[in-house]
Amino acid sequence: MTSFDLSGRRALVTGANTGIGQGIAEALAAAGAHVVCAGRSSMDETLERIRAAGGSAEPLKMDLSDPRAAAGLLEGKARRGEGLDILVNNAGIIRRADAVDFPESDWDAVIDVNLKAVFLLSQAFGRAALERGRGGRIVNIASVLSFQGGIRVASYTASKHGVLGLTRLLACEWAAHGINVNAIAPGYIATANTTALREDEARYRAILERIPAGRWGEPSDLGGAAVFLASDAARYVHGAVLPVDGGWLAR
């Protein structure tokens, strides 16, 4: 067994049906974890891919637009003895509009899924881990927009700044209890959330030219970072944010 081996551990990944969440779920399963793939959409494709590779996974219907209900599902699993060792807060949505025209409804929707749900799920996970006394790992998906402003994505930028701050706060409170809370900051990844950018030829080209690696990222590029932060290899890593951005932030 290596320090990156996740055999015998149970992980929950939100938004695991596609994109970054799917890539992370596959990587955790390949490292030996049993992965609970959570979200409101069908997880069939992710489950098939994990099982075809010899991994173990199950679906969990979870609507993160209702963060309290989502957290209640985690609490219910803990009460039934189905506790988790790893929580990956990946699910996120984005809304685009100029700040002067940004609808309040879009602000609320993004903050609920991207930030409030992250806190309430982490809170439920933390309570169970503290009661169990065995520690655990939380990996939050932040963004390069946790460090930058971006344009036309006011609520997304605010939420991702919040995720980074929350990661550090929870790390400070829980590190002494063996609960590692860290984050990954993806750069520009080819997912549904970036479809509008990739379909805008000028914007796509401008972004690509700024990425030192010379390409947009793929969901699978996030897998190794997630396995590291979820594993014993990162047992003394608390409150860190690991950019996986092709060098975007270094530019």
**4: in domain:** no
pLDDT of 1 strictly over 80? no
Residue 161 lies in a domain: yes
Catalytic residue among 156, 188, 204, 236: 156
User: Is 1 within the bounds of a domain?
Assistant: no
The arithmetic mean of pLDDT across residues 164-188, rounded, is 98
Overall domain count for the chain: 1
Determine the pLDDT at residue 79. 86
Residue 25 inside a domain? The answer is: yes
Q: How large is the average pLDDT for residues 25-31?
A: 98
pLDDT at 16 over 90: yes
Residue corresponding to tokens 């006011």 = 154
Q: Is 236 a catalytic residue?
A: no
Q: What is the mean pLDDT of residues 117-130?
A: 97
The pair of three-digit structure tokens given for residue 36, joined into one six-digit string: 């609970």
Best CA proximity match to 87, nearest among 11, 23, 181:
11
What pLDDT score does 95 carry? Answer: 96
Whether residue 233 is contained in a domain is answered as yes
> Stretch 148-152: mean pLDDT, rounded?
95
Q: Which amino acid is at 225?
A: A
CA–CA separation, 164 and 211 (whole Å): 22
Give the chain's largest Cα–Cα span: 55
Q: Is the pLDDT of residue 62 over 80?
A: yes
Residue 179 lies in a domain: yes
**pTM, 2 dp:** 0.96
Whether residue 160 has pLDDT greater than 70: yes
**What is the pLDDT confidence band of residue 43, given thresholds at 50, 70 and 90?**
very high
Confidence of residue 250 (pLDDT cuts 50, 70, 90): very high
For the segment 101-110, the average pLDDT, to the nearest whole number, is: 98
Q: Has residue 131 been placed in a domain? A: yes
Q: What is the CATH number of the domain that holds 72?
A: 3.40.50.720
- Alpha carbon 201 to chain centroid distance? 28
Give a yes or no: residue 139 inside a domain. yes
**Domain extent at residue 137:** 10-250
pLDDT over 80 (residue 92): yes
Beta-bridge mates of residue 36:
12, 58
pLDDT of residue 78: 87
Quick one: pLDDT band at residue 81, thresholds 50, 70, 90? confident
Q: Is 143:242 a contact under the CB 8 Å cutoff?
A: no
Averaged confidence pLDDT in the chain: 96
Tell me the CA end-to-end span of the chain in Å, nearest whole number: 38
DSSP the chain: --TT--TT-EEEEETTTSHHHHHHHHHHHHTT-EEEEEESS--HHHHHHHHHTT-EEEEEE--TTSHHHHHHHHHHHHHTT---SEEEE---------GGG--HHHHHHHHIIIIIHHHHHHHHHHHHHHHHTS-EEEEEE--GGGTS--SS-HHHHHHHHHHHHHHHHHHHHHGGGTEEEEEEEE-SB-SGGGHHHHHSHHHHHHHHHH-TTSS-B-GGGGHHHHHHHHSGGGTT--S-EEEESTTGGG-
Q: Do 168 and 238 contact (CB within 8 A), yes or no?
A: no
Give the pLDDT score at 32: 98
Region 134-153 average pLDDT: 96
Q: What is the pLDDT of residue 74?
A: 92
Q: Is the pLDDT of residue 161 over 70?
A: yes
Structure tokens at 72: 């209640």
- Checking if the pLDDT of 166 tops 70, the result is yes
Residues near 17 by beta carbon (within 8 Å), at least 6 away in sequence? 37, 39, 41, 42, 43, 45, 46
